[in-house]
A and B are shown apart, each in its own frame.
Chain A
């Protein structure tokens, strides 16, 4: 499916496939982050999410990380309690997509310091900002870990010190649930 004859290259953008969307969801099927690189209606997004979460959760641990779904390829990987799931086009490179996921996890991990699901829940906006620095329009924008984090940290420096640190509230919740959330570094599939 990968090779495509040169005569078709003028017809569409098939030679420049890109990521269609990325979903992060928990083992319980709760959606934690969604990023859509193609315009879809809310209804369609919900339908796709429901279907995919079901499909991916049903798969066994040793199975292949790629699957054909509709006319897309799904590349997914589980990190602790979170599934990272990307939809790419037919000609796209599965392995490099797998490493896009891993690099994103590394970025989150570095930024939050041992990232866990709760970090992403309570700081979902940060997760989006980091993703935007790394991937834009479904394509890798900056693959250097240092450069991405530098951009985010610079942005953080721009904030005013108008609000205090969050109270123990979030912290309590975090401790409470840390047990079932291992860190990204002990990623399961390795």
Chain B
């Protein structure tokens, strides 16, 4: 019997399909379709009512046209009409059309729902199934609203036919997935669980999908399903291959149901009931045992079904992660699959082993397969399998095999598919860093990485190697030597030039003793690459050159020559031109000392999470880096980084902060370094150099007679300590300075960086742990003292601090931001209290926060005539404050002598507070003979005059 005769043939449809297939061209096909569409349209619009058969035929033709990829914009109504036909085949076609073509078109949905409703209540199981299929296929919210209450009743009703139950279960699942809020739990839920015990295997197969989904969202309500699932699984696993009749598939009993049962169990932790657990372990062992038995059939279907269950069982074993014996057995089984002739099995074994590698129980067992996996990486013909092998190598890597794995991955990179190179590069970089015991190996690896796959080496990777070289002084010489050699290659990747420029600029002096890498040779080598590089790299090279001038004075003239050339100093790129001009000027104006300070070696980078790891996480999504891996990172991360550990829960944001600016800027990089390096930004380089020449030098000399003597740990209480005796002196250092070291003793260094605009200020405090031991319970607080609070009910300053991390690792530095708003003028500085435990002993010290009223001073320009006029206006005695004092720093006689007219200095400005602006005028009259000054302040507010006078008198 010809197959087509099955069901009801529609002759017109067959003819139409043949016509379409006979079309010789796309145009002919479209023509034929348009003809048919016109025909159908006229039939639907015609006066003569169509009989059910014609309607069905035309709707079916429309469906065919739609499935060919053409748009259909009519016929929906006719399809809906077919739903109410009581002829099954017409109804069936109507439902099919709707399932395929209807997207929640609200107008129609109401009519469709009506048809569905009638069929659901028809008590005709075939009609009910059609209606349920339609709901499951469309699954729109409107349908959920209409039927989410009805379907559970159908599902658990005693008299519902099995086939209807099956459809109802999956239909409800679909509605629950689209609109969980509309499917209400209720009395039916407990009865659904018991469908696991149903006689009919088909009902169990369908119901278990629903139960799994529901118990995932409501684990407690459904937890009885665990024991039911275990006993069902146990019965299936122990059944003979013929027991289950038609549910046995190629000699495997109920493979679909078994997989679903094992999947359901993965929603729960291991069963607490010992008997249930014992039974389950038995099942899992049986499944593992069966994998060793000779196959009952040579058909691939047999082995696929059997192994599908096996892999699902292994997934459950990994999910429990508590049965070492089963984990190791699973691993051995997968190990056999690694060499199976079926590509599919090799692929799945590699994939599954990846997760086994992260379990402490099976990590070692996975490692034994390293040779096989490496071989797979080399020989598999399918890239997706090779990708799995690379993933597994990454997952199984630890200190013992890191060198081998990294070497293999590197050599694979040379031929790796483009699609996976970037990820491979990140992985190699991470492994090399994580397991580096000797840093020369690390440097070699990363430089190899750049050589082999330079295009795929992202910024994070080469930033990271520089951070590590800077932080590890034992590797700097080697890094300089290696990168110098690497740059010898006639064609080297631009990333290599970047790393080379940076490292030679910092550490070129370490290899300069060798005549083969003398300063000039180094410079010429770098400069030979200059013209082939992009602008950011050239900018970086220019910075390297100025660093060379500092490192090797003998290169100065050569480099100045280069900087002076038109191609630099008149470069059309603003950044390059500016650098050339500034560096040229800097090198010719600044003294050697200034140059040495400005171009000092990079300070160590604060240790944070590896930016590469963050990148890989971002690339692979949050789940990609397993939690164990992150813990590993914490555990192992320390050693590369000079004893500093990675921040405990450093976030991607934190690592971004440590990622240098993308302008690949040597000086820009500094901004993430400690403040004591006085980072001049590239743009304002000269200004900073001359206005704050050597700010670090005097600041570094802060008294070192630490608080240990003044506040020995034994007497320290939890209350904030009183301000330290020297705190006033420290404060005065900052009256005219915004950056520098506020405080330093044997344990702690506190750096300050601040900026003010009008009545607002922002201060960055950098707490540096000078020891190699971590500070715990580190906390800081800012309080106001006496006068600040005594201003009746109003504060003079609004100070907001952000809390700091309670742990400061040895050698690390934490930053705190303080926002300050000046509400009204004030005299006393707020107090900064710092508490932490060092080796168990509480340390408690209080300093004055270097905020003084003059910080909110804004200069005003005024001609002398105006000045004296205003001066006279502020003539009331309380508006003036005057001090006569001896010059403490000596007077610059040259200045005074040369210009007699400048016998006094005046200035004018406005103190900006939120409440008011206070105009201030100042007069400083030196008396050179007596080495005395007279400082007079006049302002509209007496307190301001007095405070400013006190503050400024200390400065001369």
Q: Among B67, B88, B300, B312, which residue has its beta carbon within 8 angstroms of that of A159?
A: B88
Q: Is B171's CB within 8 Å of the partner chain A?
A: yes
Query: Which chain B positions have C-beta within 8 A of A115?
Result: 3
Q: Is B216's CB within 8 Å of the partner chain A?
A: yes
Query: Which chain A positions have C-beta within 8 A of B14?
Result: 122, 166-167, 169-170
Q: Is B46's CB within 8 Å of the partner chain A?
A: no
A142-B384 CB under 8 A given contacts A18-B209, A137-B174, A163-B8: no
Mask: chain A, 144-168; 1 = CB below 8 Å from B; 0 = not: 1111000100111011101111110
Whether B351 pairs with A139 at a CB distance below 8 angstroms is no
Q: Is B887's CB within 8 Å of the partner chain A?
A: no
Mask: chain A, 101-140; 1 = CB below 8 Å from B; 0 = not: 0110000000111110001011111101100100011011
Whether A62 pairs with B381 at a CB distance below 8 angstroms is yes
Q: Among B173, B202, B256, B354, which residue has its beta carbon within 8 angstroms of that of A137?
A: B173
Q: Among B173, B312, B318, which residue has its beta carbon within 8 angstroms of that of A93?
A: B312
User: With A and B bound together, what is the CA distance between A62 and B87 in angstroms?
Assistant: 48
Q: Among A1, A141, A156, which residue has its beta carbon within 8 angstroms of that of B351?
A: A1
Query: Which chain A positions have C-beta within 8 A of B431?
Result: none
Nearest-CB distance from B202 to chain A (Å)? Answer: 4
Q: Which of B301-309, B586-594, B917-925, B939-947 contacts A (4 or more CB under 8 A)?
A: B301-309
User: With A and B bound together, what is the CA distance between A66 and B342 in angstroms?
Assistant: 12
Interface size on A, residues (CB 8 A): 83
Q: Is B426's CB within 8 Å of the partner chain A?
A: no
| B residues 76-116 touching A (CB-CB < 8 Å) | 87-89, 92-93, 96, 99-100, 103
Nearest-CB distance from A164 to chain B (Å)? Answer: 7
Whether A99 pairs with B202 at a CB distance below 8 angstroms is no
Query: Which chain B positions have C-beta within 8 A of A160?
Result: 8, 87, 89
Query: Which chain B positions have C-beta within 8 A of A124?
Result: 63-64, 67
Query: Which chain A positions have C-beta within 8 A of B87?
Result: 159-160
User: With A and B bound together, what is the CA distance between A170 and B3 in angstroms?
Assistant: 11
Query: Which chain A positions have C-beta within 8 A of B219?
Result: 9-10
Mask: chain B, 291-328; 1 = CB below 8 Å from A; 0 = not: 00000000111001101100110010011000000000
Whether B269 pairs with A6 at a CB distance below 8 angstroms is yes
Q: Among A31, A68, A103, A174, which residue has its beta carbon within 8 angstroms of that of B384?
A: A68
User: With A and B bound together, what is the CA distance between A62 and B346 in angstroms?
Assistant: 13
User: With A and B bound together, what is the CA distance between A3 and B17 in angstroms?
Assistant: 47
Looking at A129, A139, A190, the one whose CB has the most chain B CB atoms below 10 A away is: A139
Nearest-CB distance from B437 to chain A (Å)? Answer: 30
Closest to A158 in B: B88
Query: Which chain B positions have C-beta within 8 A of A48?
Result: none
List chain B positions with a Cβ less than 8 A from chain A. Answer: 1-11, 14-15, 17-18, 21, 53, 60, 63-64, 67, 69, 71, 87-89, 92-93, 96, 99-100, 103, 126, 129, 133, 136-137, 139-140, 163, 166-167, 170-171, 173-174, 177-178, 201-202, 205-206, 209, 212-213, 216-217, 219, 246-247, 249, 254-257, 259-260, 263, 266-269, 299-301, 304-305, 307-308, 311-312, 315, 318-319, 343-344, 346-348, 351-352, 354-355, 381-382, 384-385, 387, 623, 627
17 contacts between A and B (CB under 8 A): A2-B318, A4-B319, A15-B263, A33-B67, A63-B382, A95-B307, A96-B305, A98-B304, A99-B308, A111-B3, A123-B3, A123-B7, A128-B96, A137-B137, A142-B205, A163-B9, A163-B10
List chain A positions with a Cβ less than 8 A from chain B. Answer: 1-6, 8-10, 13, 15-16, 18, 31, 33-34, 39, 41-42, 46, 60, 62-68, 93-96, 98-100, 102-103, 111-115, 119, 121-126, 128-129, 132, 136-137, 139-147, 151, 154-156, 158-160, 162-167, 169-171, 173-174, 189-190
Taking A16-B263, A64-B382, A146-B246 as given, write out 6 further A-B residue pairs in contact, using a Cβ cutoff of 8 Å, ordered by the A residue number: A1-B351, A15-B212, A65-B343, A99-B305, A113-B3, A169-B15
